[in-house]
Amino acid sequence: MDMLGIAVVGSLVLAGSAVVAWIKFFMDMGSMRKEASSAMTMATAAHGQTTILRDEISAFKVENAHEHGSFMGIETRLNSTLSDLRADIRSMTDRLDRVLDRKQRSA
Q: Provide the CB-side half-sphere exposure for 19 (13 A, CA).
A: 6
The residue type of 27 is M
Beta strands in the chain (DSSP E): none
Element of type H or E holding 92:
helix 3-106
CA 41, 44, 49, 53: dihedral to nearest 10 degrees? 160
- Inform me whether the pLDDT recorded for 61 exceeds 90: no
Higher pLDDT, residue 84 or 73: 84
Mean pLDDT taken over the chain: 88
Confidence of residue 1 (pLDDT cuts 50, 70, 90): low
Report pLDDT digits (tens) over 18-48.
999 998 988 888 888 888 888 899 999 999 9
Q: Provide the CB-side half-sphere exposure for 88 (13 A, CA).
A: 6
Between the alpha carbon of residue 49 and those of residues 9, 34, 53, 100, the distances in Å are 60, 23, 6, 75
